[in-house]
Chains A and B, each alone.
Chain A
Amino acid sequence: MKGRTLGRHLKEGGKNLVRNGWMTFASVSAVAVMLFVVGAFVLMIMNVNHFASALEDDVEVRVFIDLTAGEEEQEELLNELEELAGVEEIAFVPKDEGLDSLIASLGDQGDIFETLRDENPLNDVYVVHAENPEETEQIANEAEELANVDGVEYGQDIFEQLFTVTNFVRNAGFVLILGLMFTAMFLIANTIKLTILARKREIQIMKLVGATNGFIRWPFFIEGLLLGVIGSTIPIGILSYAYVRFYDTFGQQTGIEYFQFLPQNPLILQMGALLIAIGAFVGVWGSMMSVRKFLKV
């Protein structure tokens, strides 16, 4: 396509937006509302994911080695653990180190345990990380069956609840977003259908004088794109502002190690890019849907 033709298409597409004043307004609003909800969900889901993965990273199976096990038997156990399905990494924590960190974690009161240095009652521990946090439970169960294992520990309860909640949020968000996308798409399709009805004669004449379908489609393509992109700017503005305010207020002070909100940068940029992309996609798809029928003259 030649440059001046693109210029013509841009002009025509823009003109259509103005010509259809109210329908343009309706479609842009629909896209804006849809993307607002999508954007809010994206912010929420990203944060939930962030919490979840912080937790998941911390999920580990602690395998306590029998106090009676000698070096050879420990070695053997290590090999057996390594052969379990889904094991990513195994770290050995000798009982002295275990005691060190116990004392350190208790602060001043930890000093009482210093007396235990000579007669350490703790077990040597293998700390096992799973490749996939969801396999943790299985690994723990299998490890428990092995010889020379005194016991196995992992955060059973939190764990299952965590997965239920995060999966639910993700799925619900996804379904909602899809539903809204379709709604907005049909609204745009309808707007453009009106444009086309008004220009049916023009399209007919264009076809008669030898315009290709591509040539006819372009202005509508641009119109849809503009509808979608304009519709995305409004929610991006509102959500960015809201999140910045939110983060300024609550960002640093949750106090709980795992529950840190994602910083505004790059989250807002990602959300913005995603909304523009969805807006553009919905706009273009909607317009192409309605043009297709009219081109079969």
Chain B
Amino acid sequence: MITMKEVWKTYPNGVMAINGIDILINKGEFVYVVGPSGAGKSTFIKMMYREEKPTRGDIIIDGQNLAKVKERQIPYIRRNIGVVFQDFKLLPQLTVYENVAFAMEVIEESKDKIRKRVMEVLDIVKLKNKARFQPHELSGGEQQRVAIARAIVNNPAVLIADEPTGNLDPDTSLEIMYLLEDINERGTTVVMATHNKEIVNTMRRRVIAIEGGRVARDEVRGEYGYER
């Protein structure tokens, strides 16, 4: 599903963020990406949805080489990759329903199809009854669930979550984790960057630790391994 071969990334300002990473993530896997701040974790994640382009090497997701695709193909690549952020990135003036529908409007789906599918994912994230609310009327956990609904509404093969629980309290974080597991069980590959030691150590999954732009550790049912 996700293959990285000899991936290097040096930013124009000279910062060497990723220094030779080889990795294979299979379809349907759930992977934590951990590591200290500034170790290249963020770049690693950004390269997966082609926010950053590797300087060298190949990143193949679902048969597409992200290192080689042309600029104008990026939108089509992104439609197969859902992304969730720490700060939710919802549009404040739109309702919950509209925020989720937005991702389908952009790819020019029909109104009927949009309505049906949006209600379906709102059901998955258990926000069907809040479809008409605006983001500021929701709690942080609920907002993140809207963001997740938006990320999966187009049935992506991969869901990338960059610190999805970073702004949430432990109980809410757990709620989000159950949701991500649920989505993972429906067949979506999930890659999640996190600083949350408790979650990684309780919900044991594969852990990839990145330090100094390299894979320092890759364990099947690993633990967080850092103090904080």
Chain A interface (Cβ within 8 Å of chain B)? Answer: 1-2, 4-5, 8, 201-202, 204-213, 215, 297
The answer on a CB contact under 8 Å between B89 and A201 is yes
Find A205's partner among B49, B89, B154 (CB 8 Å cutoff). B89
The answer on a CB contact under 8 Å between B111 and A215 is no
Q: Give the residue name and chain of the A residue nearest to B110 (CB).
A: A4
The answer on a CB contact under 8 Å between B103 and A209 is yes
When A and B form their complex, which 4 residue pairs have the shortest distance between CB atoms, in order from nearest? A210-B79, A210-B78, A209-B103, A211-B106
The answer on a CB contact under 8 Å between A211 and B75 is yes
Q: A209 to B103, alpha carbons, bound, how many Å?
A: 6
The answer on a CB contact under 8 Å between A202 and B106 is no
Q: A206 to B103, alpha carbons, bound, how many Å?
A: 7
> Cβ of A1: which chain B residues have Cβ within 8 Å of it?
108
> Cβ of B49: which chain A residues have Cβ within 8 Å of it?
208
B210 CB-CB contact with A under 8 Å: no
B76 CB-CB contact with A under 8 Å: yes
The answer on a CB contact under 8 Å between A210 and B107 is yes
Q: A209 to B107, alpha carbons, bound, how many Å?
A: 9
Chain B interface (Cβ within 8 Å of chain A)? Answer: 49, 51, 72, 75-79, 83, 89, 91, 102-103, 105-108, 110-111, 150, 154
> Cβ of B107: which chain A residues have Cβ within 8 Å of it?
209-211
Q: Give the residue name and chain of the B residue nearest to A4 (CB).
A: B111
Instruction: With both chains docked as a complex, state the minimum distance between the C-beta of A5 and any C-beta of chain B, in angstroms.
Output: 5
Find A209's partner among B51, B72, B111, B154 (CB 8 Å cutoff). B154
> Cβ of A211: which chain B residues have Cβ within 8 Å of it?
75, 106-107
The answer on a CB contact under 8 Å between A206 and B106 is yes
Query: B91, B102, B108: which has the most chain A beta carbons within 10 Å?
Result: B108
Q: A213 to B72, alpha carbons, bound, how many Å?
A: 8
The answer on a CB contact under 8 Å between A210 and B89 is no
The answer on a CB contact under 8 Å between B108 and A208 is no
> Cβ of A204: which chain B residues have Cβ within 8 Å of it?
89
Instruction: With both chains docked as a complex, state the minimum distance between the C-beta of A291 and any C-beta of chain B, in angstroms.
Output: 15
Instruction: With both chains docked as a complex, state the minimum distance between the C-beta of B85 and any C-beta of chain A, in angstroms.
Output: 9
